[in-house]
Amino acid sequence: MKQLGSELKRRCYLKRQGIVPYAVAWEEQRSLLEDRLNNPERDDILIILQHPPVYTLGTGATEENLKFDPQASSIPLYRTERGGEVTYHCLGQLVGYPILNLRYYRCDLHWYLRQLETVLIRTLGEYGLSAEREAGLTGVWVKGVKVGAIGIKAKRWFTMHGFSLNVCPDLSGFSQIIPCGIRDRAVGSLQQFCPDITLSEVQQTLIRNFAEVFEVELYSDQ
């Protein structure tokens, strides 16, 4: 098992995908997970992308947190195998799907969730934003508004699904749900605090912090 802090870093393939429909990315994750269950020696993968507008529900999520009729909505809704309640993805939001073999890190899902939060917190810190965790909740907040969400799935210690960071999205889609089932917290974006921020620069910062927090060697074809 890889020890954190060791000189030998786990290799992780970085896959930048641009804009991908949710169903396409979801199927790819399932395929990559299945491949690694059958071939556990494969390198890890970090997929970074954006989704066109879409709502997703976690395994045990309730439709009571929807403010619209799913049968009449022009925006697709998917029930997935991740944890958590309903969330919204759209352009201007960076989404990361790490496909990791936690046996090389730590077989502890709570640790993994906190690591993902740390990636987002460090990223925001580089733009002068003091990001925080909220006791008993998963995600990242800045000045009381939630800017980062996390929902994961693990099978035999292989992960899928992941995190999202609101950089410069149109937040209106969140008004149609109770995001993550949290009624007393607003959803925000980095652009509210840093008006000149760009998606491309945040993506690079996020990728670098992911590599540092998980102590992996990222490589790609790009």
What residues does each domain of the chain span?
Answer: 10-214
Q: Residue 188, Cβ neighbours under 10 Å: how many?
A: 18
CA 12 remoteness from chain centre: 16
Q: Are 80 and 59 in contact (CB under 8 A)?
A: yes
Q: Among the CATH numbers 3.90.1150.10, 3.30.56.10, 3.30.930.10, 3.40.50.850, which is that of 10-214?
A: 3.30.930.10
Active site residues: 180
- pLDDT tens, 39-90? 999 999 999 999 999 999 999 898 999 999 999 999 999 999 999 999 999 9
Average of pLDDT values for 125-139? 94
pLDDT at 222: 66
**Could you give the CA distance from residue 127 to residue 123 in angstroms, rounded to a whole number?**
7
Task: Compute the average pLDDT of residues 101-118.
Answer: 98
**Helix, strand, coil content of the chain in percent (nearest 5):** 30, 30, 35
- Whole-prediction pTM value? 0.94
The CA distances from residue 87 to 24, 52, 156, 166, in Å, are 18, 13, 25, 12
The strand pairing partners of 142, in sequence order, are 131, 145
